[in-house]
Amino acid sequence: MNDKIIAYQGVEGAYSHLACKNAFPKSISIACESFEDAMKLVKNKTVDFAMIPVENSTAGRVEEIYRLIPKSSLFIVSEHFEPVNHCLLGIKGSKIKDIKYVGSHPQALAQCYRNIINLNLIAVAKFDTAGSAKEISTKNDKKYASIASKLAANLYGLEILKEHFGDLKGNVTRFIILSRENTIPKYEKDKEYITSLIFHVRDIPAALYKALGGFATNSVNLLKLESYSMAGSLQVSRFHIDIEAHPKEKKLKLAIDELNYFAKEIKYLGVYKKHEGRENYKLL
């Protein structure tokens, strides 16, 4: 995927931008205002891929994504895990003792809550992390600080006053890479794969239990099960599952046969290699 163009949500220096640079160092990254805008650029063939966050080890799932993906015609072709190192940033020449206000995305502020309180800082919610860094770079006032990435510090000429400013260690975000093409990797016995799909259950008693039963009886591991309501309804009727298997494996074929009997509108979202560092991360 190197030498390709990848869209992400946020401004330059956002963690999604950092994920693009770390996952595909030779790629060109394009900033977008929203997740939907990033996906549209892929669909319209303006860019090759979109780097989209789906869950964080501290904050949980990015709910908006699970609502957007079913409406999208895109496919998951890869996953990436990006460690989140929140840094306390100030303008050049500033010190921690100078700071009175600290701005960032509400999630970043929440993940740094104890450190913010310990320094007696006033937290100010902003639209995103990198945007807050860009803002204080224009203020040129030592009273204002930002919580953002090291990349944001480099891009906006800011001082890193404290690295690892988050309250918890091991903070990581899982991203999926979306493409127009449904590229399914060739099955190799010594490799591990993930198959992602969504479905509705039929209106029968214990439908979900029966639909998922085929995975248990065929020894297929489910890595993720997400449920959410359809637009205009309060009833949970759609499910997203990540399966630890490749469609070419007999055990998954048998499990899908059972799923087909108890579920409806099954849509494959993609088949991709399991990220090599996945076992090092624990997501909610």
**Positions marked catalytic:** 173, 175
SS3 content of the chain, % helix, strand, coil (to 5): 30, 35, 35
Question: In whole angstroms, what is the distance from residue 5 CA to residue 183 CA?
Answer: 17
Structure tokens at 106: 């509400």
Coil, helix or strand at residue 231 = coil
The β-bridge relationship of strands 172-179 and 75-83 is: antiparallel
DSSP 235: S
* Number of other residues whose CB lies within 10 A of the CB of residue 246: 22
The stretches of the chain forming alpha helices (DSSP H) are 15-23, 35-43, 63-68, 106-111, 113-118, 129-139, 150-155, 207-217, 250-262
Give me the amino acid identity at 211: A
Structure tokens at 194: 């993930």
